[in-house]
């Protein structure tokens, strides 16, 4: 009985070590959060720590809503936005560890990017940078949340080229956002 308890204790340490190594490999050691069970709505997230400090060029907000099996919408539509302007609404589907689009287009101003994570149990996010890759200015990002779920990242963007990526799966989930 005592030997069995020691084995379980060492096994727990080994599993915890593997989780720590996996989190570190993703660059998120100590920041990964456990998400709600499938079917339950994930917590809403608006975190000042994850928002860019870029003043007037980028005001970022995020919101999460539970996936309700909504089919993917068109790549861009105009919707009423705060402050009397129009918000360009964009949709990305994350499925099979891929985004369904590698290029998005939007009008300058308020841009809302909804990410529909259809990968059950697999966390994704969206991170937007100014320029052609992740070496540019950080414009904003959503939290890592396991699917199925939807998250929306709303940014105020000037005309130009932007790069978007899932920070956990950068090799297969990235693309270009052209703002006119």
Q: What's the pLDDT at 39?
A: 41
Q: What's the pLDDT at 118?
A: 98
Residues facing residue 174 across a β-bridge: 165
Q: Is residue 95 part of a domain?
A: yes
Q: Is residue 100 part of a domain?
A: yes
Q: What's the pLDDT at 149?
A: 98
Confidence band for 173, pLDDT divided at 50, 70 and 90: very high
Same domain, 164 and 121: yes
Residue 62 to residues 8, 59, 90, Cα–Cα distance (Å): 41, 10, 14
Q: For tokens 């009008």, what's the residue?
A: 107
Cis omega (within 30 of 0) on the bond before 148?
Answer: yes
Same domain, 61 and 104: yes
The mean pLDDT value for 7-22 works out to 41
Q: For tokens 């400090």, what's the residue?
A: 53
Same domain, 138 and 174: yes
6 has a pLDDT exceeding 60: no
Lowest mean pLDDT among 31-35, 45-49, 124-128: 31-35
80 has a pLDDT exceeding 60: no
What percentage of the chain's residues is helix, strand, coil (to nearest 5)? 20, 40, 45
User: Which residues, at least 6 apart from 144, have a Cβ–Cβ distance to it below 8 Å?
Assistant: 28, 32, 33, 123, 124, 125, 167, 168
- Label the pairing between strands 174-179 and 149-157: unpaired
DSSP reduced 3-state for 41 = coil
Integer-rounded Cα Rg, in Å, for the chain is: 18
Confidence band for 88, pLDDT divided at 50, 70 and 90: very high
User: Which residues, at least 6 apart from 41, have a Cβ–Cβ distance to it below 8 Å?
Assistant: 64, 65, 66
Report the CATH number at residue 156.
2.60.40.420
Residues facing residue 62 across a β-bridge: 153
Same domain, 140 and 106: yes
pLDDT in tens, 144-161: 999 999 999 999 999 999
Q: For tokens 């939807």, what's the residue?
A: 150
Q: Work out how many domains the chain is built from and give that number.
A: 2
Q: Is residue 147 part of a domain?
A: yes
State the alpha helices, DSSP H only, in the chain: 2-25
Residues facing residue 45 across a β-bridge: none
| Structural domain range at position 1 | 1-32
11 has a pLDDT exceeding 60: no
């Amino acid at each position: 009985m005592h030997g069995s308890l020691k084995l379980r204790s060492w096994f727990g340490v080994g599993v915890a070590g593997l989780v720590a190594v996996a989190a570190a490999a993703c660059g998120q050691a100590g920041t990964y959060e456990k998400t709600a069970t499938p079917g339950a709505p994930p917590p809403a997230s608006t975190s000042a720590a994850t928002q860019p400090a870029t003043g007037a060029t980028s005001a970022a907000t995020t919101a999460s809503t539970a996936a309700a099996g909504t089919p993917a919408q068109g790549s861009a539509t105009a919707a009423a936005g705060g402050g009397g302007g129009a918000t360009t609404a964009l949709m990305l589907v994350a499925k099979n560890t891929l985004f369904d689009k590698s290029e998005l287009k939007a009008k300058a101003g308020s841009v809302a990017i909804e990410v529909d994570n259809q990968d059950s149990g697999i966390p994704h996010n969206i991170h937007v940078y100014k320029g052609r890759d992740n070496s540019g200015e950080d414009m904003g990002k959503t939290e890592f949340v396991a699917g199925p779920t939807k998250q929306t990242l709303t940014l105020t963007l000037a005309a130009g080229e932007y790069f978007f990526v899932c920070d956990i799966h950068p090799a297969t989930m990235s693309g270009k956002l052209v703002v006119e």
